[in-house]
Structure 1
Amino acid sequence: MAGGASAFVAAVPHQSHPPFLNLCLLVFEAVMEVVCVSLPGYILARQGMFDAESQKFLANLNTMLFTPCLIFYKIGDKLEISQLGDLAIIPVIFVVQTAVSYGCARVVSRMFGFKKRATNFVTAMAVFGNSNSLPISLVTSLAYTIKGLHWDKIQGDNDAEVQARGLLYLIVFQQLGQFVRWSWGFHVLLAPPEAYADDEDGEQGRLEGGQYQDEPEAEALLQEFADPVANGNGKKNGLQTSRSDPQLSTSDYGSGAATPMYQDDGSYESEVDSDALSGNSRNGFNGFRKPDPKGWIKQGRHWMQKQSDRASSGTVNACHKAWASLPPKVQTVLSAIWRPVSKVLNACWELMSPPLWAMIFALIIAAVPSLKHYFFTKGTFVNNSVTKAIKQSGDVAVPLILVVLGANLARNTLPQDQLDAEDPVLEKRLVWASLLSRMLLPLAIMAPLFALTAKYLPISRLEDPIFVIVVFLLSGAPTALQLAQICQMNNVYMGAMSRILFSSYVVWILPSTIVLVMLALETVEWTGAV
């Protein structure tokens, strides 16, 4: 294929273009890679071996384990702190792309007459494009197939360096997208239907300014500190009260086993069978009975919970005493300061998720040379043990996403009650609005804007041909596959999500990707980057 491209370059004036049929074959190979990994999931789902609960379990597992490992390994290994200044143009382009996609989604949603919940869904489909599996496959292939992508500012530039730079660009774009996706996208745009329960059509809810309006736990704790007399000596402290609140004890991810319920006197409503704790015998062995491991586990869990509660109660009591010892004016000033700070901290904490924690840890390690040496230098103990384990787990993330994608395309696995609750007409309109807002309108705006920027602004990174190709691929890429995970976890328009993925990755992916690559190559040639 490379030889055919070279012959074509000698024959036609468009030196950056491979033969059109070769380009189509290249794109088709990258698309087929996605199809081949997704196909087993579709087949298993059609055979009834991959039901909706299994898909949701795998989505949660991927979010909690494999995706954080992938993010940690890629950022920590590839990113150099010295490169951050030179790559500063990437966040700017990311913000512009996100703003353009957001604007397109809002305009299209208004044209379709959507209310808040549907508008947020279309916005998520528009602003979060695929920056992982498909673009990585394309960049890897293009770096070795298309001649003329070498950057003249790098002495001795070769295909391997072109590929490495392309992957680095994708990683930075990818992690910026991950941060926004698992914060704003997870908690706001694709919030569960219950967040919109106050609206007559399920479209309006408790989201106001990007936050839930429930009183933050930190603010509740402040109330405890501000009024220690009303709360006695902490016998009924704020932590105990908050734990008895079912809203605050529910996990964001809906996982975890049942927990003991607190009584008004601070005691526990035991979940253990009373016979397991007494000497009563059901089999006549003098008060002894067959060992009950489950009962022991529950007793151990209750004992640990009691110890934890005693420790937290002591901490709160100490804080109450320290607070009471302060002058009233100091208490007033600290209260005024703490209220807005606690709201900000609570909002940040609510936005955090395992992938975001992984990204923060990876940035810390990348910023500390000694830590990066231990984690990512071959031969060190940490690299041979911890890092290799993380890499193996991270390598599972993308294939697992694609397998779940294939299962999502088999609509017979989606929860029937969810499908029955969705309006078929609304579902079709959501699909069309999402495709317009993601794969057509942003590209129509970004393509000329970026071409003019690369042509006339003296920014060195815009002269790198592979960078231009990466930007174009991301401008019109299909909807991110991870949105299927979030929709499954939060039960958000799962039927519409399935149709969007089918339309994006089966129907439109091949022609749209060919157009993206051709536009990128035209821009590379027009700007004189080759």
Structure 2
Amino acid sequence: MNAFATIAITAVQSISQVVCTGLFGHILAKRNILTPPLQRGLSQLTICLFTPCLLFSNTVRSIRQDTVMDLWPIPCYLLLFTFLSMSLASISARFLHLTPSQSNFMRATLTFSNTNTLPIALVESLSYSSALPWLQSPGKSEDELEDSEDIAARGVSFIVFYSILGNLIRWSYGTTLLSKDEDAQISGSYSDRHTPQRGAEEEGGAQRPHTPSPSSPVSANHHPILMTRGRPAPRRQEEMAGGRERGEPFSNPPTVGALLGMFVALTPAIRDLLIPQGAPLYTTLFKAVDGCGKASVPLIVVCLGAQLTTLSRSPPSPSQGHHGEEDSERLALNPPSPYAYPSYASTVTFASVGRLILLPCLCLLSVMLTLPLAGALGKDPVFLLTILLLGSAPTAINLMTVCQANGCFERPMGRVLLTQYTLGSITLVGWCMAFLVVVRGVYAGERTLASS
């Protein structure tokens, strides 16, 4: 089969795998099995257990003290891609006149990409395709050529190391960006201040809690799974975001799992107790942690499918709710709020275009300019292909888990992910073909010299 056709099929299959897994969540949500409270509980379980286990096991398995120094270009490219993403987000925020909360949302969606499911699937598939000759290191004889398994293992090791470092930033700074939606708080507090409270004096001064209208800006732009009577639960949000606001961004479970895994990986005495196979704690402790970690990605995708299904349901009109008379009376008495919740249409559009088109272009240009400085890794075609794929992936799926846990940005995040993973099958096919052409062109001269 032609190499380009193989690449196209590989990209479509990788995206389809994510779509099919999310479809299971969609079906469960449609049948009211995966209910909103259950979605919230699964998101908490993923953050507190499965994701830390995934980061710990991948770190311990992939990193060793004697090889970690050879991978120094990877954190450099991670910082470079982060700088490009943050710069693009800042420019777009100024150009689109975004609010501070919208700017934080834009930074998160542009900066944190999918570094697990899609890149790993693409690298493994390409390693076993007719593109294998283009991924061989130049200068080797036929007896020294690597097989598909070796090529795939090396590419996955690059991705895992990049993912480990990226997750440290995502689960610290990234969760801070998505921890508070000030626009929702402002619009909600204005509604509270301008809502007449009936029966306060008659009941001895005990005021009845205000229930916003389902058509108010707050309830119309927030998902009901983290809302009580149409409003986000403020105490719960403050409790979850409080630790980060007090300057503890590295205290959340995923970051702790990644840091603990790095410590164990760089401490040979402890690492030898866990791996390789036959180590004292391999069958018991490490296999248990690894098994929990493998549940992380499928569970995140299933919850995403259910969340998108629930978000697509239209909220009831005031006349259909249990408090329809109260809502109509309040809408008649209250003036229109000058702090209406802002629209995320332009934000979602630019986040999708930026993540799928603009950033891959910037990453390709920056990698081609800096590749001669990457040392030994700069001469490895697998490294070049891998780092380009990492820079072109859609927004990370587990950002929805962060939004669910924090109770904000759920609807716009759902729209971003739905848009990107729908269009990603097209853009990734194009980028994979372009990157493979680049890889073949960069190392073609060295292969010609080696063969002669």
Alignment TM class, shorter chain as reference: 0.7 to 0.9
1:103-131 per-residue CA deviation (whole Å, 9 max, x = no partner) reads 11111122211010001101100000000
Of 352, 359, 367, 1:450 maps to 367
Cα distance in 1 for residues equivalent to 2:115 and 2:417: 15
- Work out whether 1:402 is the aligned partner of 2:319: no
Of 61, 69, 88, 1:77 maps to 61
Structure 2 contact 61–265 (Cα < 8 Å) conserved: yes
1:298-328 per-residue CA deviation (whole Å, 9 max, x = no partner) reads xxxxxxxxxxxxxxxxxxxxxxxxxxxxxxx
Partner of 1:164: 153
Alignment map for 1:103-502 (pairs within 5 Å): 103-145=87-129, 146-148=131-133, 149-152=135-138, 155-187=144-176, 189-193=177-181, 197=185, 251-252=239-240, 347=247, 349-412=248-311, 416=315, 426-454=343-371, 456-457=372-373, 459-502=375-418
Structure 2 contact 360–392 (Cα < 8 Å) conserved: yes
Structure 1 residue 393: deviation in Å?
Answer: 0.5
- Work out whether 1:101 is the aligned partner of 2:16: no
- Counterpart of 1:360, as a letter, is L
Structure 2 contact 178–409 (Cα < 8 Å) conserved: no
Structure 1 residue 359: deviation in Å?
Answer: 1.2
Structure 1 residue 449: deviation in Å?
Answer: 2.2
Cα distance in 2 for residues equivalent to 1:27 and 1:56: 31
Partner of 1:526: 441
Cα distance in 2 for residues equivalent to 1:249 and 1:194: 12
TM normalised by structure 1 equals: 0.66
Cα distance in 1 for residues equivalent to 2:420 and 2:118: 12
- Counterpart of 1:518, as a letter, is M
Structure 1 residue 156: deviation in Å?
Answer: 4.2
Q: What SS does structure 2 have at the residue aligned with 1:528? A: helix
Q: What SS does structure 2 have at the residue aligned with 1:388? A: helix
- Counterpart of 1:89, as a letter, is P
Partner of 1:339: none
Partner of 1:35: 19
% same residue:
27
- Counterpart of 1:437, as a letter, is G
Structure 2 contact 105–178 (Cα < 8 Å) conserved: yes
Structure 1 residue 197: deviation in Å?
Answer: 4.4
Structure 1 contact 109–433 (Cα < 8 Å) conserved: no
Partner of 1:269: none
Count of aligned pairs between the two proteins: 377
Cα distance in 2 for residues equivalent to 1:201 and 1:104: 32
Structure 1 residue 387: deviation in Å?
Answer: 0.7
Structure 1 contact 52–414 (Cα < 8 Å) conserved: no
Cα distance in 2 for residues equivalent to 1:184 and 1:412: 26
- Counterpart of 2:304, as a letter, is L
Structure 1 residue 180: deviation in Å?
Answer: 0.8
Structure 1 residue 23: deviation in Å?
Answer: 2.1
Structure 1 residue 52: deviation in Å?
Answer: 2.1
CA RMSD of aligned residues (A): 3.1
Structure 1 contact 377–383 (Cα < 8 Å) conserved: yes
Give the gaps of 5 or more residues in structure 2: 191-233, 317-336, 448-452
Q: What SS does structure 2 have at the residue aligned with 1:351? A: coil
Structure 1 contact 59–485 (Cα < 8 Å) conserved: yes
Cα distance in 1 for residues equivalent to 2:138 and 2:297: 34
Partner of 1:56: 40
- The structure with more radius of gyration: 1
Residues 364 and 199 (structure 1), Cα distance of their counterparts in 2 relative to 1, 3 Å cut = same
Q: What SS does structure 1 have at the residue aligned with 2:32? A: coil
Structure 1 residue 344: deviation in Å?
Answer: 12
Residues 487 and 250 (structure 1), Cα distance of their counterparts in 2 relative to 1, 3 Å cut = closer
- Counterpart of 2:402, as a letter, is I
Structure 1 contact 182–355 (Cα < 8 Å) conserved: yes
Structure 2 contact 52–254 (Cα < 8 Å) conserved: yes
Give the gaps of 5 or more residues in structure 1: 6-17, 203-245, 255-342
Cα distance in 2 for residues equivalent to 1:134 and 1:453: 25
Structure 1 residue 44: deviation in Å?
Answer: 1.0
Cα distance in 1 for residues equivalent to 2:310 and 2:418: 10
- Counterpart of 2:406, as a letter, is N
Cα distance in 2 for residues equivalent to 1:247 and 1:494: 18
Structure 1 contact 75–362 (Cα < 8 Å) conserved: yes
- Counterpart of 2:440, as a letter, is E
Cα distance in 2 for residues equivalent to 1:425 and 1:411: 21
1:211-235 per-residue CA deviation (whole Å, 9 max, x = no partner) reads xxxxxxxxxxxxxxxxxxxxxxxxx
Structure 1 contact 170–470 (Cα < 8 Å) conserved: yes
Structure 1 residue 373: deviation in Å?
Answer: 1.3
Residues 196 and 351 (structure 1), Cα distance of their counterparts in 2 relative to 1, 3 Å cut = farther
Structure 1 contact 182–352 (Cα < 8 Å) conserved: no
Structure 1 residue 497: deviation in Å?
Answer: 1.0
Structure 1 residue 414: deviation in Å?
Answer: 7.4
Structure 1 residue 195: deviation in Å?
Answer: 9.3
Q: What SS does structure 2 have at the residue aligned with 1:381? A: coil
Cα distance in 2 for residues equivalent to 1:201 and 1:27: 46
Partner of 1:333: none
Cα distance in 2 for residues equivalent to 1:489 and 1:345: 16
Structure 1 contact 182–356 (Cα < 8 Å) conserved: yes
1:206-255 per-residue CA deviation (whole Å, 9 max, x = no partner) reads xxxxxxxxxxxxxxxxxxxxxxxxxxxxxxxxxxxxxxxx989974279x
- Counterpart of 1:151, as a letter, is S
- Counterpart of 1:158, as a letter, is D
